[in-house]
A and B are shown apart, each in its own frame.
Chain A
């Protein structure tokens, strides 16, 4: 797997190189957008880590240029203050983003997730069952016949309640359910004050499904209203809620 790292901060690039090489990836290095575009055109790149603030050519311009020719997964590296940049980047076709200062572990997880999706895309979508026993939202797949849930191809273990909640939410992507409603639909019973357990289960689910549970990409908290499964099946349109 070839990964292109593009950041003007050489120390960060060096560190990332070490991490990625340790994971067995092949790395290419660029210190600005122009270099990155050149390398991307020459080499067979599977994923790009792209910083937004760079000299010569910044991340956003690079993205715009890149997407004209390639749909290689891009993870943006940003400082959180550039909120509008993140939204812009994701809208222009970035697949994910990591805010600085990030934890290397998180970055690696996101890299892994994007690569899996990139390589498995197409093959997995073909064998989806029409009867709805197989559900997928983003990188989360649920096989109701085998009772198996995978995230980026990795199987995860869920308790029966967590499984029921996830299946219900995946059956209704984009819909917001209040804790009461969710309890009623999943438990088939009136909550009578027990809806607080829903929040706990959702928290656990997020910890298992999401790379950063505090900033979930799929299983979202709509504060003051309820919970929902993000509808968009295409991560390229995923927009952060921050």
Chain B
């Protein structure tokens, strides 16, 4: 039932731990606990080794005595012999001399009151002894191998040690007895302390890791100043610290120097907070995703990569491109010669380092010369073929490749190219012939149709003058009159489109001011526009664009467009004409709202005989737009249509006249 509120309380509880004071307190606490846990655990391990947990107090005491007695006895023996030992004699060959020296004096110098020693050789002969019949508390035996050579040269000394009964209040083993009793009594408590502090430390450690990088009232983790230090730098600093610490400890353990105790103690003291801080920082870096990114190595690599990329982009690429352009722009013969030269040079260079070069060089020279001649000859032929191919691509069908002095394959290729041009020019010729034939046909047919049509129109006119009584006859005549007019218009359009689409029109180019032409055209259409209830709206950019065109043909284009608008535009709407110029082109945007639904794609409207309504009940031939397009293209312009719902758009585009 607390599912809803849980995240909130959890958040609150969590943000309580995000406060810096809480974090600092838990860090300190964790430090102490860590030290306590480590201390306890190490102690427990040491105690267990001495049998604190397995035997009685006496047995434990015995064990401790044995350990320390043995250690002191062995150490003393070694020190004694080292004092008398001759460095020139590593294998203790003068062992008898050393034994004497030891027995005479040296043992007394090193002997302590805490442990009494009796040194003997492997034969059982006593060399020296500090034992004077004291009361024995504990005694034991051990041996020291002074020289561990081959079996017969081995030098071994035995030592018997005695720990005398302790005098009240002094002596090493008296203090040790007291301490042993104390520790033995607390030995289980120590386990408890170790366990509890370890558990508590673990909890605090997890808490510290969890809250690392978090701050109250912030949803995302944020690194502190310390966390912003590059990770590898941090690790390196910690490495330096660890090295200092271990070397100091080793130093202290090796030779007891009181001056080093204070720094060593300090280093050990800060070891645990530093360790915890390291863990926290590591956790924060992981959370922020900056563990790897925020490293000097990564930064260096990144800069290096950036530098390479920059170099690639700004130096190598342009150079490469320039070289490529230069080579690509070279004629084929020069290109071949260049490659030949480079290859020969490399070969020559390589040959130069071969010892017996003179004979080889001559061979190479001959070979290179022969190859160079052959390859350059092939490049020359190639150039001829290339020129032929380019001429063909440009549409120059008269071009013939010179086949003389061409070897087999090249000759065949040249012949193929020539026959392609032959075939193509034949095809073009045929096509032109058929185009011409078509135009001729249409013009002849239209002439043949025109003559009877003239007769029909004339006689309809005559009939109309006859003044028929019958109303029906009048109506029929009117229909005949209308339809014959339409037929006439259709004929004219058909002829015009046939001429325009085959380019069979005489074009006289002269500078045309589009603004003037537009106002002239609108003047011509003023009455018809008014009748169709259309309002022309003109927007003309200044300066008014001037193009090079045939004014008469351009008028035919405008005539068709405006007549289209008058026929098909919705009455009561505006016809927009926007004249602009930019980038060396003059554009005229022509827009009107269609009366009928335009259910034909824009591209289809440019097809011949297609009308927007498809029903063909309107007047007109359906050729108007097609004629306008053909004429526009003949004059080097472009005409495109666009239909946007009922909005009908025509865009005319002409290159501007360069000189006015």
Contacts and interface: CB of A to CB of B under 8 A. Distances in A.
A203 B526 contact: yes
A220 B526 CA distance: 18
Contacts of A101: 450, 453-454, 456-457, 488, 491
A82 B447 CA distance: 9
A12 interface: yes
Interface stretch (B74-82, B280-288, B547-555, B645-653): B547-555
B458 A202 contact: no
Contacts, number: 110
A141 to B, nearest CB: 25
B458 A199 contact: no
B457 A79 contact: no
Interface in B419-462: 443, 446-447, 450-451, 453-459, 461-462
Interface in B462-478: 462, 465
Contacts of B117: none
A196 B523 contact: yes
B394 to A, nearest CB: 33
Given A79-B447, A199-B522, A224-B514, A11 B459 contact: yes
Contacts of B459: 11, 15
B49 interface: no
Nearest to B505: A83
B447 A221 contact: no
B156 interface: no
A54 to B, nearest CB: 11
A242 B508 CA distance: 11
A15 B517 CA distance: 40
B524 interface: yes
Contact of A225 (B462, B527, B551): B551
Residue among A19, A79, A103 having the largest count of chain B Cβ atoms under 10 Å: A79
A80 B492 contact: yes
A39 interface: no
Interface in A52-86: 53, 79-82
B519 A223 contact: no
Interface in A86-134: 100-105
Contacts of B517: 223-224
Interface in B522-562: 522-524, 526-527, 549, 551-552, 554-555
A224 B461 contact: no
A178 interface: yes
Contacts of B520: 179, 199, 221, 223-224
A81 B505 CA distance: 11
B561 to A, nearest CB: 14
Contact of B461 (A104, A178, A200, A226): A104
A105 to B, nearest CB: 8
A160 B157 CA distance: 154
B232 interface: no
Given A19-B462, A200-B526, A225-B551, A178 B454 contact: no
Contacts of A18: 462
A81 B495 contact: yes
A111 to B, nearest CB: 14
A224 B446 contact: no
Interface in A195-213: 195-203
Nearest to A201: B523
Residue among A81, A105, A201, A225 having the largest count of chain B Cβ atoms under 10 Å: A81
A196 B491 CA distance: 33
B523 A199 contact: yes
A9 B456 CA distance: 12
Contacts of A179: 516, 519-520
B111 to A, nearest CB: 132
Majority secondary structure, B binding face: helix
B513 interface: yes
Given A12-B458, A178-B513, A100 B451 contact: yes
A9 B443 contact: no
Chain B interface size range: 35 or more
Given A199-B526, A224-B551, A242-B552, A178 B455 contact: no
B552 A223 contact: yes
A11 B453 CA distance: 11
Contacts of B454: 9, 12, 100-102
Contacts of B455: 9, 11-12, 15
Nearest to A241: B552
A16 interface: yes
A225 B516 contact: yes
Interface string A178-206: 11000000000000000111111111000
Contacts of B462: 15, 18-19, 104
Residue among A53, A102, A200, A223 having the largest count of chain B Cβ atoms under 10 Å: A223
Contacts of B273: none
Contacts of A12: 451, 454-455, 458
A103 B457 contact: yes
A222 interface: yes
A29 to B, nearest CB: 15
B430 to A, nearest CB: 24
Interface string B82-98: 00000000000000000
B512 interface: yes
B18 to A, nearest CB: 76
A222 B443 contact: no
Given A79-B451, A242-B552, A224 B513 contact: yes
Contacts of A79: 446-447, 450-451
A203 B524 contact: yes
B511 interface: yes
Contacts of A195: 519
Interface string B614-644: 0000000000000000000000000000000
Contacts of B526: 199-200, 203
Contacts of B521: 199
Given A104-B461, A202-B523, A178 B516 contact: yes
Contacts of A81: 443, 446-447, 495
A191 to B, nearest CB: 10
A104 B514 CA distance: 37
Given A12-B458, A223-B552, A198 B523 contact: yes
B450 A100 contact: yes
Interface string A1-27: 000000001011001101100100000
Nearest to A224: B512
A198 B512 CA distance: 18
Residue among B495, B516, B521 having the largest count of chain A Cβ atoms under 10 Å: B516
Contacts of A80: 450, 492, 495
B513 A225 contact: yes
A19 B488 CA distance: 21
Contacts of A53: 447
Residue among B458, B488, B520, B521 having the largest count of chain A Cβ atoms under 10 Å: B520
Nearest to B459: A15
Nearest to B484: A101
Given A104-B461, A104-B462, A224-B517, 9 more contacts: A16-B458, A79-B450, A80-B495, A81-B443, A100-B454, A179-B520, A199-B526, A224-B510, A225-B511
12 contacts: A12-B451, A12-B455, A15-B455, A15-B459, A100-B451, A178-B513, A179-B520, A197-B523, A198-B519, A203-B526, A225-B511, A241-B552
Q: Which 8 pairs, one residue from A and one from B, show the smallest C-beta to C-beta distance?
A: A199-B523, A224-B512, A223-B551, A15-B458, A101-B454, A224-B517, A224-B551, A223-B555
